[in-house]
Amino acid sequence: MTSLIADWRDRPTHRNVWALAAPMILSNISVPLVALVDSAVIGHLPHAHQLGAVAVGASLYTVLAWVMGFLRMGTTGFAAQAAGREDGAALRQILLQGLALALFFALLLGLLAIPFSHLALSVMQPSEALAQTTHDFFQTRLLGLPAALASFALVGWFLGTQNARAPLAILLTTNLLNIVLNLWFVMGLDWGVIGSARASVVAEWSAALLGLAMTRPALRAYPGNLAWAALRRWQSWRPLLSVNRDIFIRSLALQAVFFLITVQGARLGDATVAANALLLNGLLLTAYALDGLAHAVEALCGHAIGAGDRPALRRSLTVAAGWSLLASMGFAVLFMLGGHLFIEMQTDIQSVRDTAFEYLPYLALLPLIAVWSYLLDGLFIGATRAREMRNGMLLSVALAVPFAYAVSGLGNHGLWLGFLLFMALRGVTLGLMSWRMQQRNEWFKEPTHSLKSR
C-alpha cells in the first residue's frame, strides 16, 4: 500500500499520463461530432433516401475500416518497446511495415468491397433509390480507404513513441476538415450525397499526408538506419502479423457480443432494441474518454517494458488506474443523475424513452465495471501480449454466453445482466493473467513475437 501511495504521488508520471491522454480524449470527442454534422447536413436535403444512403453507406465503410483497427493497436506496442530501447532502426522498420500492411489490406478490401456491399444491400432489401444512392456514396468513400488505414498505422506508431500531438493533428484534421468540406460540398456546391463522400475522402488523404510529413521530425529523436535486408525475411514480418492476427480475433469476438445484444434486443420489440442502442451510446461516450487513458497506458507501459524499467511500469499503471477509476466514477454519477436528460436528447419517441429509463441503472454501473478491461487492454497492447488478450476475450465470451442464455427468461433485464457479467469477466480474466505474469516475472521477458531490428 505504501508503494502504491508513493507511485500515485509521483508528479512526473501524472504529467506523462495526461500529456498522452488529454490529446487523445480531445481527438476522440471529435469522432461523434462528425457523425452528428453529417446527419444534420444530409438531413436537410429534400429526400429521405439521401439521409438513409449516407447512414447505410457509412456503416458499410465503417465495418471495412473497423476490422483493420489492429493496424493501430498492433503498431503501438512494438513502437513503444523500440522507443524504450532507443532502437531507431526498429522504429523505422515498424513504421514501414505498418504502412505496407495498410496499403496491402486497402487493396484487398477494395476487391471485396463491392461484392460485400451488394450482399449487404440484398439482405436489407432497400428501395431502388436508396440502393443506388448508397452504392454511389460507398464506392466514392472507398477511394479514401488506403489513407484511412495508413492513418491507423501512423497513429499507433506515434503513440508508441509517446508523441500524442501527432495523433491529435491527424484525427482532428480528418474530422474537422470533414465537417468543413461537408458543409461546402453538400450545401455550398450542391453535390448532394456524393459531396459528403468526397468530403470524407479529401479529409482522410489530407490527414494521412500530414501524418507522413510528421514522421520525419519524429524520427530525428531516434537515430538509426532502416535494415532493408530484414524486410525481405519472413521472420521480420511474423511478429507484427501474429499480434495483428490475435487482436483481429479478439475484436471479432467483442463485436459478436454487441451483435448478439442487437439481435436479442430486436426479438424483444422495436422499443427495446432502440432503447438499448441509446443506452449503449452512453457506453461509447465513456469508452471514448477512458480510451485516452488506455492509450497512455499502451505507450508508457510499452516504453517501460522496452527499457526494462520496472518502477516506471508500476508508476504508470498506478497513476493511469487512479485517473481511470475517478473518471469512471464521474460517468457513473453523470448517468445516474442526468441519464434521463441523456436519453431525452436522443429521441422524442415516448415509448423508447420510457423503456430506456427503466434500464438506466445498468448504464450507470457500466463505467465502473468496464474501466478495468480498458486499462488492462492498454497494458497488454503495450507489452505486445496480444495472444493473452485474445484468450481472455474468448474465455469471457465462453463464460458469459451460457449465463446470458440462462437468464434470458428475464427479458431485457437478463440481457443487461449478461452484458454486465461479460464486461466484468473481461477485466477479471485480464487481471488474473497480468497477476500470473507478474508472479512469474514474465512482463520483462520477450514474448514469442518480439520484434527488434536485425
CA distances from 321 to 7, 81, 167, 314, 357 (A): 11, 21, 22, 10, 30
> Three-state secondary structure along 111-152?
HHHHHHHHHHHHHHCCCHHHHHHHHHHHHHHHHHHHHHHHHH
Above 90 in pLDDT, residue 429? yes
The pLDDT, as a whole number, for residue 103 is 93
Residue whose C-alpha cell reads 485474445 in the numeric block: 390
Report the alpha-carbon distance of residue 23 to residue 168 in Å, rounded. Answer: 6
Residue whose C-alpha cell reads 483497427 in the numeric block: 69
Better-scored residue on pLDDT, 240 or 382: 382
Do 264 and 396 lie in one domain? The reply is: yes
Tell whether 259 and 223 lie within a shared domain.
no
Q: Decide if 255 contacts 59 (C-beta within 8 A).
A: no
Mean pLDDT confidence for 404-415: 87
Q: Check whether residue 337 and residue 393 sit in a common domain.
A: yes
The total domain count for the chain is 2
Question: Rounded to whole angstroms, how far apart are CA atoms 27 and 158?
Answer: 14
- Nearest Cα to 368, choosing from 332, 335, 420, 320? 332
Q: pLDDT value at position 417?
A: 93
Query: Is the per-residue pLDDT at 277 higher than 80?
Result: no
Residues 214 and 256 both lie in one domain:
no
Q: Give the mean model confidence (pLDDT) for residues 330-339.
A: 93
Q: Are residues 272 and 138 in the same domain?
A: no
Please check whether residue 202 is in contact with residue 179, taking contact to mean a CB–CB distance below 8 angstroms: no
Question: Is there a single domain that holds both residue 411 and residue 265?
Answer: yes
Nearest Cα residue to 204 out of 149, 136, 160: 149
Of the listed ranges 79-83, 239-243, 329-333, 422-426, the one predicted with least confidence = 239-243
Helix (H) or strand (E) holding 295: helix 270-307
Whether residue 149 is found in the same domain as residue 291 = no
Residue 332, pLDDT above cutoff 90: yes
Closest CA to 310 of 15, 86, 3: 3
26 occurs within a structural domain:
no
> Comparing 176-185, 307-316, 347-356, which segment has the lowest mean pLDDT?
347-356
Residue 398 has pLDDT above 90, yes or no: yes
The model's pLDDT over 286-316, given as tens digits with 9 standing for 90+, comes to: 887 888 888 888 888 888 888 888 888 899 9
CB atoms within 10 A of CB 240: 24
Reported as a pLDDT band with limits 50, 70 and 90, residue 22 is confident
Residue that finishes a domain, picked among 197, 232, 267: 232
CA proximity to 17, closest of 323, 381, 378: 323
Distance CA 102, CA 106 (A): 6
Fill in the amino acid letter for 436.
Answer: R
The total number of residues shown for the chain amounts to: 454
344 confidence band (pLDDT: 50, 70, 90): confident
Q: Is the pLDDT of residue 12 over 60?
A: yes
Grid coordinates representing 238? Answer: 511474423
Residues 219-274 pLDDT 10s:
888 888 877 776 777 777 877 788 878 888 888 888 778 767 766 776 677 677 77
Pairwise pLDDT comparison (219 vs 120), residue with the higher score: 219
Q: Are residues 94 and 8 in the same domain?
A: no
Buried b (16+ CB within 10 A) or exposed e, 300-323: bbbbbbbbeeeebbbbbbbbbbbb
Q: Which contiguous run of DSSP H or E holds residue 427?
A: helix 412-439
Which residues lie below 8 Å from residue 353, measured CB to CB, with a gap of 6+? Answer: 275, 343, 344, 347
Alpha-carbon distance of 69 to 249, in angstroms, equals 11
191, 214, 232 - which closes a domain: 232
Of 177, 210, 232, the residue at which a domain comes to its end is 232
Residue 396: pLDDT band (50, 70, 90) is very high
Residues 104 and 251 in one domain: no
Q: How far apart are CA 350 and CA 204, in angstroms?
A: 39
- Nearest to 349, CA basis, from 285, 234, 272: 272
> To the nearest whole percent, how much of the chain has pLDDT over 90?
26
28 in a domain, yes or no? no
What b-and-e string marks burial along 362-381, b requiring 16 or more CB atoms within 10 Å of the CB? bbbbbbbbbbbbbbbbbbbb
C-alpha 197/C-alpha 136 separation (Å) is 9
69-88 pLDDT, tens digit per residue, is 788 887 888 888 888 888 88
Computed over every residue of the chain, the mean pLDDT equals 83
Q: Is 297 exposed, middle or buried (0-12, 13-18, 19+ CB in 10 A)?
A: buried
Q: What is the pLDDT at residue 39?
A: 56
Domain range holding 280?
1-18+237-454
For residue 409, give the DSSP letter.
G
CB 80 within 8 A of CB 302: yes
Can you tell me the distance from the alpha carbon of 28 to that of 289, in angstroms, rounded to the nearest whole number?
7
Report, as an integer, the average pLDDT of 387-400. 93
Query: By mean pLDDT, which of 18-27, 77-86, 418-427 is the weakest?
Result: 18-27
Q: Which three cell numbers stand for residue 407?
A: 437468464
pLDDT at res. 321: 92
- pTM value is 0.75
Q: Which residue, among 69, 88, 233, has the nearest Cα to 148 in the 3D structure?
A: 69
Tally DSSP H helices, then E strands, for the chain: 17, 0
Most confident of 2-6, 24-28, 86-90, 421-425: 421-425
Read off the DSSP letter of residue 184. Answer: I
23 within a domain of the structure (yes/no): no
**Has residue 310 been placed in a domain?**
yes
pLDDT reading at 448 higher than 60: no
Whether the pLDDT of residue 454 is over 50: the answer is no
Clarify whether residues 245 and 302 are in a common domain: yes
pLDDT tens digits, one per residue of 205-231 = 999 999 999 998 888 888 888 777 767
Whether residue 344 is contained in a domain is answered as yes
How is 431-444 classified by DSSP, letter by letter?
A: HHHHHHHHHTT-TT
pLDDT, mean of residues 56-74: 75
Instruction: Identify the pLDDT of residue 210.
Output: 95
